[in-house]
A and B are shown apart, each in its own frame.
Chain A
Amino acid sequence: MDFPENLRYTKTHEWIAVQGNKGKVGVTSYAQQEISDVVFVELPKKDQAVQQAKTAAVVESVKAAFDIYAPMSGKVTNTNKALEANPGLINQSPYGDGWLFEIELANAGEVNALMTAQQYRDTVQQAPKH
Chain B
Amino acid sequence: MLISKDDRLSFEKSKPGRRGVTLPRERFCSADPLQTVPKHLLRQSPLLFPEMSESDIIRHFINLSRKNFSVDTHFYPLGSCTMKYNPKVNEWAAHQEKFTALHPLQSEETTQGILEILYEMEEGLKEITGMDRFTMQPAAGAHGELTGMMLVHAYHASRGDKARRKVLVPDSSHGTNPASAALLDFHVVEVASDAHGCVDLKDLERHLDEQVACLMLTNPNTLGLFEKNILEIARLVHEKGGLLYYDGANLNPLLGLARPGDMGFDIIHVNLHKTFSTPHGGGGPGSGPVGVKKHLIPFLPAPLVEKAKEGYRWAKGDPRSIGRVKLFHGNIGVIIRAYTYLKVLGREGLLKVSEAAILNANYLKEKLKPYFQVAINGPCMHEFVLSLKSCGAQGVHAGDVGKRLLDFGFHAPTVHFPMVVPEALMIEPTETESKETLDLFVEAMKQIAHEIETDPENVRQAPFTLPVRRPNDVLAARKPILSYRDMVREKALAAEVAA
- Which residue numbers of A lie inside 8 Å of B, CB to CB? 37, 39-40, 60, 62-64, 87-88, 128-130
Residue B487 at the chain A interface, CB threshold 8 Å: no
Interface of A is mostly: loop
* Residues of chain A contacted by B478 (CB below 8 angstroms): 39-40, 87-88
Count of CB-CB pairs between chains A and B under 8 Å: 23
Query: Shortest distance in angstroms between B450's beta carbon and chain A's nearest beta carbon?
Result: 23
Residue B327 at the chain A interface, CB threshold 8 Å: no
Q: Please encode chain B, from 466 to 484, with 1 for each CB lying within 8 Å of some chain A CB and 0 for all others.
A: 0000000110011000000
- Judging by beta carbons under 8 Å apart, are B389 and A40 in contact? no
Residue B422 at the chain A interface, CB threshold 8 Å: yes
Residue B423 at the chain A interface, CB threshold 8 Å: yes
Query: Shortest distance in angstroms between B468's beta carbon and chain A's nearest beta carbon?
Result: 16
Q: How far is the CA of A64 from the CA of B478 in the complex (A)?
A: 14
Q: Which residue of the partner chain B has the closest CB to A130?
A: B422
Q: How far is the CA of A72 from the CA of B478 in the complex (A)?
A: 30
Query: Shortest distance in angstroms between A122's beta carbon and chain B's nearest beta carbon?
Result: 20
Q: Which of A40, A128, A129, A130 contacts B477 (CB 8 A)?
A: A40
- Judging by beta carbons under 8 Å apart, are A129 and B416 in contact? no
* Residues of chain A contacted by B392 (CB below 8 angstroms): 129
* Residues of chain A contacted by B473 (CB below 8 angstroms): 62
Q: How far is the CA of A60 from the CA of B477 in the complex (A)?
A: 10
- Judging by beta carbons under 8 Å apart, are B422 and A128 in contact? yes
- Judging by beta carbons under 8 Å apart, are A63 and B389 in contact? no
Residue B419 at the chain A interface, CB threshold 8 Å: yes
Complex interface residues of chain B between 392 and 416 (CB less than 8 A to chain A): 392, 416
Contact A64 B416, CB 8 Å, known A128-B422, A129-B392, A130-B389: yes
Q: How far is the CA of A28 from the CA of B351 in the complex (A)?
A: 52
Query: Shortest distance in angstroms between A113's beta carbon and chain B's nearest beta carbon?
Result: 22
Number of B residues contacting the other chain (C-beta, 8 Å)? 10
Q: Which of A37, A128, A130 contacts B474 (CB 8 A)?
A: A37
Q: Which of A39, A87, A129 contacts B422 (CB 8 A)?
A: A129
- Judging by beta carbons under 8 Å apart, are B423 and A63 in contact? no
* Residues of chain B contacted by A129 (CB below 8 angstroms): 389, 392, 422
Q: How far is the CA of A128 from the CA of B373 in the complex (A)?
A: 15
- Which residue numbers of B lie inside 8 Å of A, CB to CB? 389, 392, 416, 419, 422-423, 473-474, 477-478
Contact A128 B389, CB 8 Å, known A40-B477, A62-B473, A88-B478: yes
List, sorted by A's number, 14 A–B pairs whose CB atoms are closer than 8 Å.
A37-B474, A39-B474, A62-B473, A62-B474, A62-B477, A63-B416, A64-B416, A64-B419, A87-B478, A128-B422, A129-B389, A129-B392, A129-B422, A130-B422
Query: Shortest distance in angstroms between A40's beta carbon and chain B's nearest beta carbon?
Result: 7
Query: Shortest distance in angstroms between A41's beta carbon and chain B's nearest beta carbon?
Result: 11
Q: How far is the CA of A88 from the CA of B416 in the complex (A)?
A: 21
Q: How far is the CA of A88 from the CA of B478 in the complex (A)?
A: 9
* Residues of chain B contacted by A37 (CB below 8 angstroms): 474
Q: How far is the CA of A99 from the CA of B462 in the complex (A)?
A: 35
Q: How far is the CA of A71 from the CA of B389 in the complex (A)?
A: 29
Query: Shortest distance in angstroms between B185's beta carbon and chain A's nearest beta carbon?
Result: 16
The 3 A-B residue pairs whose C-beta atoms are closest, nearest first, are A130-B422, A39-B477, A37-B474
* Residues of chain B contacted by A87 (CB below 8 angstroms): 478
Given A60-B477, A64-B419: 11 more A-B contacts, CB < 8 Å: A37-B474, A40-B477, A40-B478, A62-B474, A62-B477, A63-B416, A87-B478, A88-B478, A129-B389, A129-B392, A130-B422
Query: Shortest distance in angstroms between B188's beta carbon and chain A's nearest beta carbon?
Result: 11
Q: How far is the CA of A39 from the CA of B474 in the complex (A)?
A: 7
Q: How far is the CA of A32 from the CA of B294 in the complex (A)?
A: 49
- Judging by beta carbons under 8 Å apart, are B423 and A130 in contact? yes
* Residues of chain B contacted by A40 (CB below 8 angstroms): 477-478
Q: How far is the CA of A39 from the CA of B478 in the complex (A)?
A: 5
Which of B389, B422, B478 has the most chain A CB atoms inside 10 A of its CB?
B478
Q: How far is the CA of A88 from the CA of B422 in the complex (A)?
A: 24
Query: Shortest distance in angstroms between A60's beta carbon and chain B's nearest beta carbon?
Result: 8
Query: Shortest distance in angstroms between A32's beta carbon and chain B's nearest beta carbon?
Result: 13
* Residues of chain A contacted by B477 (CB below 8 angstroms): 39-40, 60, 62
* Residues of chain B contacted by A60 (CB below 8 angstroms): 477
Q: How far is the CA of A64 from the CA of B421 in the complex (A)?
A: 14
Query: Shortest distance in angstroms between B415's beta carbon and chain A's nearest beta carbon?
Result: 9
Q: Which residue of the partner chain A has the closest CB to B415?
A: A63
Q: How far is the CA of A19 from the CA of B30 in the complex (A)?
A: 75
